[in-house]
Amino acid sequence: MDYLVLKWLHIVSSTLLFGTGIGSAWYMLFANVSRDVRAIAVVSKYVVIADWLFTATTAVLQPLTGFYMIYLAGYPLHSKWIMWSIMLYVLAGACWLPVVWLQIRMRDLACAAARDATELPALYWRYFRIWVTLGVPAFAAFIVIFWLMVAKPV
């Protein structure tokens, strides 16, 4: 595969990965701030779908295209910027996996509350606090990864 096509796929998939993450977080956050149970139920339903459709697929594509570009470009795998990128990607993934589980639980709790016309239970808000807490390091990791990919510091 041509290096430029591979690089284009890597950049597009990183854009989808980061863009879906930031967009989902934005809408989920502000749906929760509204405390409108019906809005939260609808938004959380689509956030879960977006995570599986876009985030999961691009999360797999990123290392595949990245490692192949490293190989084609002849970069040493032990380069500091590559090692830091890998570690930060693993950190972001370690945050994302429980977030997916939390989002599914939050969606189910919100849908049940909307269906029953009740308030969200305390468990929902506990999950939400954990969701936010895990989102911060994942977001920071991706910002640093983007810088590392562009700057490629030695």
The 10s digit of each residue's pLDDT in 35-86 is 999 999 999 999 999 999 999 999 999 999 999 999 999 999 999 999 999 9
Q: Is the pLDDT of residue 1 over 90?
A: no
CB-CB contact of 71 with 7 (8 Å): no
Mean of the per-residue pLDDT values of the chain: 96
Q: Which has the closest alpha carbon to 104: 60, 49, 53, 24?
A: 49
Q: Is the pLDDT of residue 154 over 90?
A: no
CB-CB contact of 51 with 103 (8 Å): yes
CB-CB contact of 148 with 83 (8 Å): no
Cα distance between residue 85 and residue 87, in whole Å = 6
Q: Which has the closest alpha carbon to 116: 41, 52, 22, 46?
A: 41
CB-CB contact of 149 with 89 (8 Å): no
Q: pLDDT tens digits, residue range 82-105? A: 999 999 999 999 999 999 999 999
The pTM for the full model equals: 0.91
